[in-house]
Structure 1
Amino acid sequence: MDKPVSTPSTNATSAATAGAQSLRRALSLLRLLAEHQEDGITLTEVMAASGLERSTAHRLLSCLAEEQFAERDAASKSYRLGIDAMQLGFASMRRVPLVDNCKPLLQKLARMSGDTVFLVIRQGDYCLCLDREEGHFPVKVFTTDIGGRRLLGLGAGGLALMSRLSDAEIERIYDRHAEEYLHAHFTRECLLQAVRRTRALGYADITDTLTVGVSGVGCTFTASASTQAAISFGAISPRLPPERKKEMAKLLMEQVQPISNPVDREQPD
């Protein structure tokens, strides 16, 4: 018997959508394919990650492939997102409610700081850049493009997002991408230390993590019941000495608080 598939959207509201089990499983597989888009994921790996029996996983993947939401590499036998899934993703990027809601704040922060401001969300083991605003300082820092992804923990926004996860989940993410983290000079202990420091400070603080001479500050906010987002500053390191980092972090935390959507508030009787 198939085990329940655990996904960010599987929560107390599931009871209100009884009968949609197959749809929920298919959507969960799409998320799984997105997380492994670079290298692909085999049927066996899908079974292990989802808890689905072989016949169920194969049936759902075959249906997604027939509808061009997934594709299977004949040589490696691994699955990735298909053309139709990508087209949906591109279409959604044209008008993202979160981007619309945060755009005025990003512009304000870029104007106040003079530096580049990024809006990112978690996407599996990665953070996805949804928007970017340039400040007036002549030397621009474009460490990631809109629509670009990078591993959690490597940038200021991604480190802030990772700090919200449990140590056990961080360990699992590291195990899945150990080679990439080591390539960025992040040992397991180095990453965990950065996460602990972020939790203690209440914001992420990076210097020379991905690009020599570039620093950043970032903090998270709750975009919705299922989405954590982060806003970060990126600048050349001389513009972000320790004291200015603290100032920028304070500014960030003050400005994102009003747009955060608390999900644990008490419900009225």
Structure 2
Amino acid sequence: MSNTASTGGTQSMRRALALLRVLAQHQEEGIDLQGVMAATGLERSTAHRLLSSLLEEQFAERDARTRRYRLGVDSMQLGFAALRRTPLLDALRPFAQKLARLSGDTVFLVIRQGDYALCLLREAGSFPVKVFTIDQGERRLLGVGAGGLALMAALPDEEIASLYARHAASYAQIGVSSAALMKAVKQTRSAGHSEIVDTITPGVSGVGAAFRVSELTWVAFSFGAISSRLDAPRRAQMGALLRAECQAWAEDYLGQ
């Protein structure tokens, strides 16, 4: 194979992978052809050709009514397979155990999955009263829970507004208004970590911090404990600990 052909093939593969990332970022609402062109910088003919190939291979799907594209069933299958065992998850498990030892509290690892935060790991600390507010494999809307709030705070305001609008009824059902959510987001950005007090389970509080592990993927760790243990001074202390540990871990992981 010639170098020219090899280079061209690599370019096409990179474009297709970039396109899959764009579809993943717009999985909930979908994205039309114009949006794909704007997000990727591809010309119309190239974007259409790549999308057609992904449709044929079932790595993408198109809504017949809105003509918006989303990830297809085969993309989903790859994602589910990867979540069951990945080098990233293997690397994060001992880090979660370290955080549980340092804090003594329950540690949760969540990852953004569209409009939701999916719990990948849960590690119990040494403190006698355990907090199990979410199970491994369970998911919640972004902004709900310390980890989900930390993930949401990393999003642009306009994306948060769209997300809330899509799930306004669900947020209202748990007593979370748009104004309250944005206030919590701004406080999280200012402090560098999220804090929740009695918002999900009465008598339970938490702190969380989010960080990027790839171009597309954000994860968040959080501590959960009874509110009498995780009072305001300790929330600030544990938030600082979590920020420092997560930043150090991410720098080491991304620098490999």
Give the structure-1-normalised TM-score: 0.71
Contact 1:222 1:261 in 2 (8 A): no
Q: Report the CA distance between 1:236 and its aligned residue.
A: 2.1
Given the alignment of the two structures, is residue 105 of structure 1 paired with residue 95 of structure 2, yes or no?
yes
Residue in structure 2 matched with residue 244 of structure 1 by the alignment = 234
Q: What CA distance in whole angstroms lies between the structure 2 residues aligned with 1:81 and 1:222? A: 21
1:216-262: per-residue Cα shift (whole Å, max 9, x none)?
10112232233222111012222211111112112112211211239
Letter in 1 for 2:230: L
Q: Which runs of 5+ in 1 are unaligned?
A: 1-14
Residue in structure 2 matched with residue 230 of structure 1 by the alignment = 220
Contact 1:125 1:151 in 2 (8 A): yes
Seen in structure 2, the aligned counterparts of structure 1 residues 16 and 183 have a Cα distance that, compared at 3 Å, is: farther
Residue in structure 1 matched with residue 142 of structure 2 by the alignment = 152
Seen in structure 2, the aligned counterparts of structure 1 residues 207 and 16 have a Cα distance that, compared at 3 Å, is: farther
Q: Report the CA distance between 1:194 and its aligned residue.
A: 0.5
Given the alignment of the two structures, is residue 27 of structure 1 paired with residue 20 of structure 2, yes or no?
yes
Q: Report the CA distance between 1:87 and its aligned residue.
A: 4.2
Seen in structure 2, the aligned counterparts of structure 1 residues 202 and 49 have a Cα distance that, compared at 3 Å, is: same
Q: Report the CA distance between 1:88 and its aligned residue.
A: 2.9
1:166 to 152, 156, 166: 156
Seen in structure 2, the aligned counterparts of structure 1 residues 23 and 254 have a Cα distance that, compared at 3 Å, is: closer
Q: What CA distance in whole angstroms lies between the structure 1 residues aligned with 2:9 and 2:108? A: 36
1:261 to 236, 251, 254: 251
Letter in 2 for 1:174: Y
Residue in structure 2 matched with residue 8 of structure 1 by the alignment = none
Q: What CA distance in whole angstroms lies between the structure 2 residues aligned with 1:48 and 1:179? A: 30
SS in 1 for 2:12: coil
Residue in structure 1 matched with residue 181 of structure 2 by the alignment = 191
Contact 2:194 2:209 in 1 (8 A): yes
Given the alignment of the two structures, is residue 143 of structure 1 paired with residue 133 of structure 2, yes or no?
yes
2:11 to 13, 18, 31: 18
Q: What CA distance in whole angstroms lies between the structure 2 residues aligned with 1:19 and 1:62? A: 13
Q: What CA distance in whole angstroms lies between the structure 2 residues aligned with 1:82 and 1:23? A: 14
Number of residue-to-residue matches in the alignment: 242
Matches of residues 201-220 of structure 1 in structure 2 within 5 Å? 201-220=191-210
Q: Report the CA distance between 1:187 and its aligned residue.
A: 0.8
Q: Report the CA distance between 1:114 and its aligned residue.
A: 2.0
Q: Report the CA distance between 1:144 and its aligned residue.
A: 2.1
Give aligned-pair identity as a percent: 53
Q: What CA distance in whole angstroms lies between the structure 2 residues aligned with 1:32 and 1:24? A: 13
Contact 2:207 2:222 in 1 (8 A): yes
Contact 2:20 2:71 in 1 (8 A): no
Q: Which runs of 5+ in 2 are unaligned?
A: 1-7, 39-45
Q: Report the CA distance between 1:112 and its aligned residue.
A: 2.4
Contact 1:156 1:216 in 2 (8 A): yes
Q: What CA distance in whole angstroms lies between the structure 2 residues aligned with 1:150 and 1:48? A: 31
Q: Report the CA distance between 1:26 and its aligned residue.
A: 6.9
Give the structure-2-normalised TM-score: 0.74
Q: What CA distance in whole angstroms lies between the structure 2 residues aligned with 1:126 and 1:64? A: 25
Seen in structure 2, the aligned counterparts of structure 1 residues 215 and 89 have a Cα distance that, compared at 3 Å, is: same
Matches of residues 38-53 of structure 1 in structure 2 within 5 Å? none
Letter in 2 for 1:206: I
Structure (1 or 2) with the greater helix fraction: 2
Q: What CA distance in whole angstroms lies between the structure 1 residues aligned with 2:35 and 2:169? A: 20
